[in-house]
């Protein structure tokens, strides 16, 4: 697979999209300390724990618990980034805040099914969404059955994280084509305290580490201080639908399926592209197709920690795969895309 540094405008456009996704993903991690995950002796007085039971308790905790967390996200070779993550119930609806504390910062706040985004030097906006796309996969916290066809979840045992007793789980791709994960849940509240992502070779890629956890009876008082009338109005996105390409995809990794297919417009060039969203329930992968025009024929492969960007011209159509998957898996997906002239 060849790399090229001299990209045409369409590759540059989708490369910019890839970097934008990475910069807004609120994803990251931190190398652990040897004593953070030391094994804790089992308490024989407690019932045997299973992965299924632990995940069911996690889902319940995410839906009902009021909490205030401090945490860091870290990627090897980068500085850890601190965040505040709060959830609670206010006036009968779930509320949430995710706030990046370093630099100019970025903040996401949710009231019910409306999520507002605030970033430095960018206009604030609100979308109709049921959840915040934050530091941990949504289905991991709310619908673990959604990735049961793609991953095996294994209960490892008890350990310690940030001085707290935890239950440790391993999440492994059934066909070994995607990254593996480790999850530590607070033994008392079943809230997530640590989440690690590993390469196919078992090397740490990313880590989310809670440094302080406060479980409370009511939502954090800051939520009640927000004047909701000052939040940005809800944006309604209506992409064009007058353009499509004829193509098929004959095979996907185990447990991965097509979720959504739409036509959208690239922000820089304004060109229409067909977007296919794939998901295995834990990881989303985007596939973009557009006429290649004068784009160079060489493959373009970009990596940013766990994120992969792969672009290739096939039968005069530019195909781009973007997602948190290994490069070889992105290439496999690309190989099974068949375009029609």
- Same domain, yes or no: 172 and 139: yes
Q: In this structure, what CATH number is given to the domain that contains residue 282?
A: 3.30.200.100
- Same domain, yes or no: 48 and 19: no
User: What single DSSP character describes residue 50?
Assistant: -
38 and 177 Cβ atoms separated by less than 8 Å? no
- Same domain, yes or no: 150 and 194: yes
User: What single DSSP character describes residue 188?
Assistant: T
Residue 199 lies in a domain: yes
pLDDT average, residue stretch 33-50 = 52
Which of these three, 188, 206, 230, is where a domain ends?
Answer: 230
What are the angstrom distances between the C-alpha of 264 and each of 22, 27, 248, 291?
Answer: 19, 25, 19, 14
Tally of structural domains, the chain: 2
- Same domain, yes or no: 16 and 70: no
CA distance 2 to 297: 10
Segment 283-308, tens digit of pLDDT:
999 998 887 776 566 789 998 888 99
What dihedral angle (degrees, nearest 10) is formed by the CA atoms of 130, 134, 136, 139? Answer: 20
223 and 88 Cβ atoms separated by less than 8 Å? yes
21 and 307 Cβ atoms separated by less than 8 Å? yes
Residue 17 lies in a domain: yes
- Same domain, yes or no: 255 and 207: no
Residue 318 lies in a domain: yes
Which of 4-13, 110-119, 205-214 shows the lowest per-residue confidence on average (mean pLDDT)?
A: 4-13
Backbone angles phi, psi at 151, to 5 degrees: -135, 150
pLDDT band at residue 224 using 50, 70 and 90 as cut-offs: very high
Collapsing DSSP states into helix, strand and coil, what is residue 23? helix
- Same domain, yes or no: 17 and 53: no
183 Cβ contact partners less than 8 Å away, ≥ 6 residues apart: 140, 168, 169, 170, 171, 192, 194, 195, 196
Which of these three, 213, 230, 247, is where a domain ends?
Answer: 230
Residue bearing the bigger pLDDT, 238 or 9: 238
Question: Residue 48: its pLDDT value, please?
Answer: 79
Which element (helix H / strand E) includes 10?
helix 9-24
- Same domain, yes or no: 119 and 77: yes
- Same domain, yes or no: 74 and 212: yes
Residue 86 lies in a domain: yes
Q: What percent of the chain has pLDDT over 90?
A: 62
Question: Residue 267: its pLDDT value, please?
Answer: 64
Residue 64 lies in a domain: yes
Query: How many helices and strands (H and E) does the chain possess?
Result: 5, 19
Residue 172 lies in a domain: yes
- Same domain, yes or no: 279 and 305: yes
Chain-centre distance of CA 289, in angstroms?
22
220 Cβ contact partners less than 8 Å away, ≥ 6 residues apart: 66, 68, 86, 88, 97
Domain ranges, residue 182: 31-230
Segment 154-164, tens digit of pLDDT:
999 999 999 99
> What's the order of all strands across the beta sheet hosting 284-291?
257-265, 272-279, 284-291, 317-323, 307-314, 300-304
Which of these three, 230, 247, 273, is where a domain ends?
Answer: 230
Q: Is the pTM of this model over 0.85?
A: no
- Same domain, yes or no: 101 and 13: no
β-pair partners for 140: none
Residue 310 lies in a domain: yes
Tokens, residue 230: 């000052």
- Same domain, yes or no: 168 and 257: no
Collapsing DSSP states into helix, strand and coil, what is residue 90? strand
CA distance 263 to 297: 24
- Same domain, yes or no: 55 and 153: yes
Residue 4 lies in a domain: no
71 and 83 Cβ atoms separated by less than 8 Å? yes
Residue indicated by tokens 């619908």 = 143
84 and 101 Cβ atoms separated by less than 8 Å? yes
CA distance 140 to 27: 14
Q: In this structure, what CATH number is given to the domain that contains residue 180?
A: 2.50.20.10
């Amino acid at each position: 697979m060849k790399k090229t540094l001299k990209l045409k405008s369409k590759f540059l456009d989708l490369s910019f999209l890839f970097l934008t996704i990475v910069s807004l993903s609120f994803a990251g991690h931190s190398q652990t300390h040897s004593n953070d995950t030391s094994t804790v002796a089992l308490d024989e007085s407690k019932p045997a724990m299973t992965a299924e039971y632990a995940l069911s308790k996690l889902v319940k905790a995410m839906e009902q618990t009021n909490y205030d967390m401090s945490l860091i996200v870290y990627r090897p070779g980068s500085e850890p980034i601190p965040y505040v993550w709060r959830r609670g119930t206010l006036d009968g609806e779930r509320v949430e805040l995710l706030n990046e504390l370093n630099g100019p910062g970025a903040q996401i706040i949710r009231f019910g099914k409306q999520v507002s985004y605030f970033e430095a030097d960018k206009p604030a906006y609100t979308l109709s969404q049921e959840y915040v796309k934050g530091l941990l996969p949504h289905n991991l916290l709310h619908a673990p059955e959604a990735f049961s066809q793609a991953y095996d979840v294994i209960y490892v045992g008890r350990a310690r994280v940030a001085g707290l007793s935890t239950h440790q789980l391993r999440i492994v791709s059934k066909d070994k084509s995607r990254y593996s994960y480790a999850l530590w849940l607070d033994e008392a509240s079943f809230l997530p305290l640590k989440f690690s992502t590993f390469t196919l070779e078992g090397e740490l890629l990313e880590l989310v580490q809670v440094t302080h956890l406060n479980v409370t009876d009511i939502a954090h008082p800051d939520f009640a201080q927000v004047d909701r009338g000052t939040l940005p109005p809800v944006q309604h996105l209506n992409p064009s639908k007058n353009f499509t390409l004829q193509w098929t995809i004959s095979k996907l990794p185990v447990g991965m399926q097509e979720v959504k297919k739409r036509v959208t417009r690239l922000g820089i060039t304004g060109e229409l592209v067909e977007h296919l969203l794939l998901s295995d329930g834990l990881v989303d992968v985007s596939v973009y197709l557009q006429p290649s025009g004068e784009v160079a024929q060489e493959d373009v492969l970009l990596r940013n920690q766990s994120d992969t960007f792969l672009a290739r011209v096939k039968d005069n159509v530019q195909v781009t795969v973007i997602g948190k998957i290994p490069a070889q898996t992105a290439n496999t997906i690309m190989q099974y895309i068949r375009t029609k002239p």
